[in-house]
């Protein structure tokens, strides 16, 4: 009988991390379309100042001009080009949502990683603090923070980030605890792997895919919340172009100048749709 070669536990521990992304090798046509739409929206957001045909803060035509070849989305009450303002609004909303999600993932992921890896009283203290934030009414807390600090884009980011990180803390903590209970982690401990190396080389890479998928699925919610706060007048004061504030100001002329409210509202809808579809696609690819 042939001798059985010993198994390298270090190599064996790395296998689950690679298998998580095995589904990315073969991507179907609908998945390609969803990811392409995500990349296109991100490119439009980054290149919005270049793509905008006019200065979004200056009068370039007559007020309340209906959509035409010169102004595809018409003009607003001050004669400003709505296409340029919507493009800049897409940039503000999309990049702000990305920033909020990034802050939530980094802060919540750090708390969840430490709590799940340390356990004991450290886990209990960090999770009780997380529960305290989760117990607060999200929308009311965001409105209160922005109202107290003053309407601005920076204060909106602070307010929404306060709401977002506890969810990632809970998610990452559960994932880390699940990974820590697997046999290859126990084998790594018995092999003399230190706690820091155990966290960096084994626990963190296993939690990253879960955080990425959760973040992609949360983009739509972050966009909706940011647009809602802007709609209530808690965003950057006019004439800065924001989709929520433009929808609010245009709703009073909905019957006479429908494009003032419909165009920015449709942009919010499309951003939420693209982010949700792309998030579902990414989740399916990672789960393969």
Q: What is the pLDDT along the chain (288 residues), one digit of tens a residue?
A: 444 444 444 444 444 444 444 444 467 777 788 888 888 999 999 999 999 998 888 888 888 988 988 899 989 888 899 999 999 999 999 999 999 999 989 999 899 888 888 878 888 899 898 888 888 777 777 788 887 887 888 888 888 888 888 889 988 888 888 877 777 666 766 666 666 767 777 677 778 888 888 888 888 888 988 888 888 888 777 778 889 889 988 888 888 889 999 999 999 999 999 988 888 888 777 766
Distance of CA 1 to the CA centre of its chain: 56
Q: How far is CA 9 from CA 21, 178, 183, 194, 262, in A?
A: 21, 19, 10, 15, 59
196-221 as b/e: b if 16+ CB within 10 A: eebbebbbbbbbbbbbebbbbbbbbb
User: Residue 136 domain-assigned?
Assistant: yes
Residue 75: strand pairing partners: 81
CATH number of residue 158's parent domain: 1.10.3720.10
Query: Which residues, at least 6 apart from 260, have a Cβ–Cβ distance to it below 8 Å?
Result: 74, 76, 77, 82, 246, 249, 250, 253, 254
Q: How far apart are CA 31 and CA 51, in angstroms?
A: 27
Residue 219 located in a structural domain: yes
Please report whether residue 16 resides in a domain: no
In a domain, 244, yes or no: yes
Whether 153 is covered by a domain: the verdict is: yes
HSE-CB at 283 with a 13 A cutoff on CA atoms is 13
CA R_g for the chain: 24
Q: What is the DSSP letter of 23?
A: G
Q: Considering its fold, how many domains does the chain have in total? A: 1
Domain of 254 in residue numbering reads as 28-44+78-287
Nearest to 80 by CA among 52, 61, 105: 61
Between CA 84 and CA 92, with CA 89 as vertex, the angle to 5 degrees is 130
- How far apart, in whole angstroms, are the C-alpha atoms of residue 175 and residue 203? 9
Query: Is residue 211 domain-resident?
Result: yes
Q: Judge whether 209 lies within some domain.
A: yes
Residue 202 in domain = yes
From residue 173, alpha-carbon distances to 14, 38, 49, 106, 126 in Å are: 20, 29, 40, 13, 10
SS3 81: strand
- Contacts of 155-159 spanning 24+ positions with Cβ under 8 A: 155/234, 156/96, 156/226, 156/229, 156/230, 156/234, 156/235, 157/96, 157/99, 157/100, 157/103, 159/229
């Amino acid at each position: 009988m042939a001798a059985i070669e010993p198994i390298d536990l270090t190599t064996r521990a790395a296998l689950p991390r690679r298998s998580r992304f095995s589904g990315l090798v073969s991507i179907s046509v609908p998945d390609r379309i969803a990811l392409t739409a995500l990349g296109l929206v991100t490119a439009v957001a980054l290149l919005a100042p270049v793509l905008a045909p006019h200065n979004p803060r200056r009068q370039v035509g007559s007020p309340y001009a209906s959509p035409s070849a010169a102004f595809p989305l018409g003009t607003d009450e001050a004669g400003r080009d709505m296409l340029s303002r919507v493009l800049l609004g897409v940039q503000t909303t999309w990049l702000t949502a990305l920033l909020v999600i990034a802050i939530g993932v980094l802060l919540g992921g750090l708390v969840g990683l430490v709590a799940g890896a340390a356990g004991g009283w450290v886990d209990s203290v960090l999770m009780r603090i997380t529960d305290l934030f989760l117990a607060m009414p999200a929308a009311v807390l965001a409105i209160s923070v922005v109202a107290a600090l003053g309407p601005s884009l920076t204060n909106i980011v602070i307010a929404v980030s306060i709401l977002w990180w506890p969810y990632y803390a809970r998610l990452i903590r559960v994932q880390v605890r699940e990974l820590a209970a697997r046999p290859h982690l126990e084998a790594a401990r018995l092999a003399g792997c230190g706690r820091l190396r155990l966290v960096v080389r084994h626990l963190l890479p296993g939690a990253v895919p879960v955080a990425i998928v959760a973040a992609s699925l949360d983009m739509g919610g972050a966009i909706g919340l940011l647009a809602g706060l802007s709609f209530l007048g808690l965003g950057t004061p006019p004439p800065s172009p924001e989709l929520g504030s433009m929808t609010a100001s245009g709703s009073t002329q909905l019957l006479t100048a429908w494009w003032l409210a419909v165009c920015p509202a449709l942009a919010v809808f499309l951003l939420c749709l693209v982010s949700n579809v792309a998030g579902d696609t990414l989740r399916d690819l990672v789960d393969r």
